[in-house]
Structure 1
């Protein structure tokens, strides 16, 4: 994020919290997970190709083994199994290295898995960084995960009881619209403004609730 984006978000948080006893936290993460399990499974499936080919067409393995022996003698079963093991291991290592590339890993990862991982990370960050630090339990987290192009809004139970999840629709729409134009700072600031409006409606400013969360954008 650029310095001007951080400044926009900080100003938006201060302006929003001036009208409510609620607390707003904003976090941007490069990614919500390494997706190592997805890479491993995909590489393992590729590594199974030699086994599948050998099972379907046994002659392919034998022909390959004969080429390696120069064709002067029939390859032994041990030699062919060793060759098959080496092929499987090499394919796995190559596929694992290729699938670890961020762009390829993103294509391989199902959207449902990305959604669950982003949600899980948002909840974890909310519980450790927002929920545990507001005595009045009136905190809201706006979480943006860049690699997955996904965002989450998580609110404390006290807020959720008065403002259902649908109340954050305008905030999410404003964020997504700006992100499509490659304006993350504007999008987060606009979302914070709308979150503040919801909080001001249900938890108006009384002056009795201290400012317990940093009024700035947190980058992970």
Structure 2
């Protein structure tokens, strides 16, 4: 389990979430799978973006401070190499720091990159974990990516053809608010109960229902 996830979702929290999913699934033929991940992508482009900008800035600051003092005494061969040497040194140092401490990448991640990563990861996990293979096509994943503070809910055709458009916006906002306000588990349970009530109305249980999927996935 990822360390950041384990800090936010303790063993006790996990059991509360599983119990809530089980209660909700007793009222519907839907299969609800909350999934919590530390982050949805390594964001390599953000790393190189940050390294390039910061290394360039450091080199320019060096040039502005050191350059004028050298002009008075004349420029030697070493002086001509000073700027590229500082740039390369800064680039190497920053590359190591960005690799060692992934949190440094966060300010350099574009919103579009987050959106693409979340959408791709949600669909991938939906298919990988069998949510598209339920008997009545009633699988629903609640994908939560903590670093990005993003949530996406993806429901199979057996659900989406029955519920109004925009149904999942409210539980998404519940969870996002919970992440920001440091009450993640309570917010997730509230969202699960909301989703459960929607599914109970549109996808009632069948007499021979079985639990087809995991009640919680943590990565």
The verdict on a shared fold, with TM-score over 0.5 as the criterion, is: yes
Contact 2:28–2:204, Cα closer than 8 Å, also in 1: yes
In the other structure, the counterpart of 1:30 is: 38
In the other structure, the counterpart of 2:90 is: 91
Q: After the TM superposition, list the runs of 4 or more consecutive aligned residues in structure 1 that deviate by more than 6 angstroms.
A: 50-54
Contact 1:153–1:168, Cα closer than 8 Å, also in 2: yes
SS at 2:168 equivalent: helix
**Over aligned residue pairs, what C-alpha RMSD do you find?**
3.0
Structure possessing the higher radius of gyration over alpha carbons: 1
> Would you say 1:60 and 2:72 are equivalent positions?
no
Quick one: which of 10, 28, 35 aligns to 1:20?
28
Per the TM alignment, residue 147 of structure 1 is displaced from its structure 2 partner at its CA by 0.9
Give the Cα separation in 2 of the matches to 1:183 and 1:172. 14
In the other structure, the counterpart of 1:213 is: 213
Q: How many residues align?
A: 209
Quick one: which of 4, 10, 14 aligns to 2:18?
10
Partner deviation per Cα, 1:155-186 (whole Å, 9 max, x = no partner): 11222222245111332233234334322221
Q: CA 1:35 to 1:21, structure 2 compared with 1: closer, same or farther past 3 Å?
A: same
Quick one: which of 47, 53, 73 aligns to 2:55?
47
Partner deviation per Cα, 1:115-140 (whole Å, 9 max, x = no partner): 33122211211121143442322100
Contact 1:143–1:153, Cα closer than 8 Å, also in 2: yes
Contact 1:50–1:84, Cα closer than 8 Å, also in 2: no
Structure 2 residues without counterparts, runs of 5 or longer: 1-8
SS at 2:148 equivalent: coil
> Would you say 1:194 and 2:194 are equivalent positions?
yes
Per the TM alignment, residue 154 of structure 1 is displaced from its structure 2 partner at its CA by 0.8
Q: TM-score, normalised by structure 2?
A: 0.80
Q: TM-score, normalised by structure 1?
A: 0.80
Structure 1 residues without counterparts, runs of 5 or longer: none
Per the TM alignment, residue 86 of structure 1 is displaced from its structure 2 partner at its CA by 2.5
